[in-house]
């Protein structure tokens, strides 16, 4: 028999002890120094040494060691895409994967818990304000397209017509329907929750929108924060971002620098963590953004704008630009909006009429393939 340290385990330290974390079974246990000293020998398949036999037996039972050829060994060898995505993603998924016996609190229990918590620690503000002199936006318009048509016409657009700024009115309408406040719910003992056009886990609405205005009539180019409570833009920096900066933020994707307007999306962690103090909440942040991004796609489509979304961003750079720290607010993705290039608009119309289906890549990325 040969044994090895189990590959799905994570070792960390807590309260002066080395702790082994088993994400599969959600178990954590402190390691005795004798066990700790023994593990390096078994980082490769080894016959147990005579003197180790009793401890090896215990460690096999505890799942700290794996026996060659056992079902646990086969599980380690057949991780599927998790093998490619690496230890961190595998660990996160398993550690936040709910089990058959997971206990979900009832709405009544949750309300009681939050009332108690709220009395000690008020919930974080549902929106952020920078306090810079806000730039007013015109009143938003209703969306001029019925949902079925908007869904059918929604496509990712990566080719934008040069020299076509967004009007302030379209920008205002886009922001209103994507991130604007539709209702405020004031629950005594909790404070205010917002309701928007997109659903949000626990109505926490952790996502903030930072519009990058490159070309919009009546709004100075620059980097702004959208303040949904007053439906206005808070300027964040004087100098408008350059093409090089946009490209760097958005993973060097050439089309991103051609969009007249971009929305940088972040999540304010505390807003969600206050209500949901568990790791699984991290998944909900991305689900929240997915809903919001689709709303942005549909609102943009209804305004006859081309829209894209990208998750391929340089988090660290965006954090620095927005003066964020990953312990409180994290970048999630970027949407871009603009009038489509005429050939791109024609291609999308032809596709709707039964023409060849394809993707909208800028010509430079597509050269040689078209």
Q: Count CB-CB contacts under 10 A for residue 310.
A: 19
11 binds ligand FMN (CB under 6 A): no
Count of residues of this chain found to bind ligand FMN when the rule CB under 6 A is applied: 10
> Tokens in use for 80?
């599927």
Burial class from Cβ neighbours inside 10 Å (0-12, 13-18, 19+) for residue 277 reads exposed
Q: Count CB-CB contacts under 10 A for residue 293.
A: 24
359 binds ligand FMN (CB under 6 A): yes
Site string for ligand FMN, 209-248 (x = CB under 6 A): ----------------------------------------
Q: Which of 145, 188, 140 is closest to 168 using CA atoms?
A: 140
Phi, psi of 17 (to 5 degrees): -125, 150
Smaller CB separation from ligand FMN, 39 or 311: 311
Helix, strand, coil percentages (3-state) for the chain, rounded to 5, are 40, 25, 40
Phi, psi of 226 (to 5 degrees): -85, 120
What stretch of H or E contains 121?
none
Contact 314, 327 (CB under 8 A): no
Query: Cα-Cα-Cα-Cα dihedral of 288, 290, 293, 299, to 10°?
Result: -90
What stretch of H or E contains 267?
strand 261-268
Contacts of residue 89, Cβ cutoff 8 Å, sequence gap at least 6: 82
Kindly state the smallest distance separating residue 266's Cβ from ligand FMN, in Å: 16
Q: Count CB-CB contacts under 10 A for residue 319.
A: 16
Q: Which of 192, 247, 311, 322 binds ligand FMN (CB under 6 A)?
A: 311
Smaller CB separation from ligand FMN, 155 or 271: 155
Q: Which of 70, 111, 132, 156 binds ligand FMN (CB under 6 A)?
A: 156
Contacts of residue 37, Cβ cutoff 8 Å, sequence gap at least 6: none
352 binds ligand FMN (CB under 6 A): no
Q: Which of 178, 198, 310, 335 binds ligand FMN (CB under 6 A)?
A: 310
Site string for ligand FMN, 318-347 (x = CB under 6 A): ------------------------------
Which window, 22-30, 46-54, 277-285, 306-314, contacts ligand FMN (CB under 6 A)?
A: 306-314
Smaller CB separation from ligand FMN, 265 or 308: 308
Smaller CB separation from ligand FMN, 36 or 366: 366
Residue with tokens 């990208």: 310
130 binds ligand FMN (CB under 6 A): no
- Tell me the C-alpha distance between 215 and 261, whole Å: 7
Q: Which of 5, 23, 66, 155 binds ligand FMN (CB under 6 A)?
A: 155
Smaller CB separation from ligand FMN, 175 or 259: 259
Q: Which of 79, 89, 112, 312 binds ligand FMN (CB under 6 A)?
A: 312
Smaller CB separation from ligand FMN, 7 or 153: 153
Phi, psi of 79 (to 5 degrees): -85, -5
Smaller CB separation from ligand FMN, 187 or 312: 312
Which window, 114-122, 143-151, 214-222, 310-318, contacts ligand FMN (CB under 6 A)?
A: 310-318
Contacts of residue 279, Cβ cutoff 8 Å, sequence gap at least 6: 92, 95, 96
Kindly state the smallest distance separating residue 359's Cβ from ligand FMN, in Å: 6
Which window, 25-33, 155-163, 177-185, 209-217, contacts ligand FMN (CB under 6 A)?
A: 155-163
Binding site for ligand FMN (CB under 6 A): 155-156, 158, 253, 308-312, 359
């Amino acid at each position: 028999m040969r044994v090895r340290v189990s590959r799905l385990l994570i070792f960390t330290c807590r309260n002066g002890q080395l702790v082994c974390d088993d994400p599969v079974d959600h178990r954590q246990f402190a390691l005795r120094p004798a066990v700790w000293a023994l593990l390096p020998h078994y980082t490769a398949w080894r016959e147990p040494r005579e003197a180790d036999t009793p401890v090896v037996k215990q460690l096999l039972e505890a799942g700290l060691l794996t026996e060659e050829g056992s079902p646990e060994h086969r599980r380690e060898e057949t991780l599927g895409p998790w093998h490619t995505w690496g230890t961190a993603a595998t660990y996160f998924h398993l550690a936040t994967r709910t089990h058959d016996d997971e206990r979900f609190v009832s709405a009544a229990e949750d309300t009681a818990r939050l009332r108690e918590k709220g009395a000690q620690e008020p919930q974080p503000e549902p929106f952020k304000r920078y306090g810079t002199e806000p730039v007013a936006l015109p009143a938003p318009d209703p969306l001029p397209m019925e949902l079925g048509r908007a869904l059918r016409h929604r496509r990712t657009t990566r080719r934008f017509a040069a020299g076509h700024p967004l009007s302030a009115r379209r920008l205002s309408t886009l922001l209103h329907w994507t991130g604007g406040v539709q209702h405020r719910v004031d629950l005594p003992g909790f404070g205010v929750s917002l309701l928007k056009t997109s659903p949000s886990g626990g109505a926490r609405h952790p996502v903030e929108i930072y519009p990058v205005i490159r070309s919009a009539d009546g709004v100075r180019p620059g980097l702004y924060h959208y303040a949904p409570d007053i439906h206005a833009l808070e300027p964040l920096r004087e100098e408008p971002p350059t093409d090089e900066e946009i490209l760097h933020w958005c993973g060097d994707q050439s089309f991103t620098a051609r969009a007249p307007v971009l929305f940088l999306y972040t999540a304010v962690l505390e807003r969600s963590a206050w209500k949901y103090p568990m790791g699984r909440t991290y998944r909900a942040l991305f689900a929240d953004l997915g809903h919001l991004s689709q709303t942005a796609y549909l609102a943009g489509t209804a305004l006859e704008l081309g829209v894209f979304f990208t998750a391929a961003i340089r988090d660290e750079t965006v954090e620095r630009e927005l003066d964020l720290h990953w312990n409180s607010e994290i970048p999630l993705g970027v949407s871009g909006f603009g009038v489509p290039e005429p050939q791109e608009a024609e291609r999308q119309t032809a596709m709707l009429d039964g023409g060849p289906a394809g993707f909208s890549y800028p010509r430079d990325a597509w050269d040689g393939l078209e």
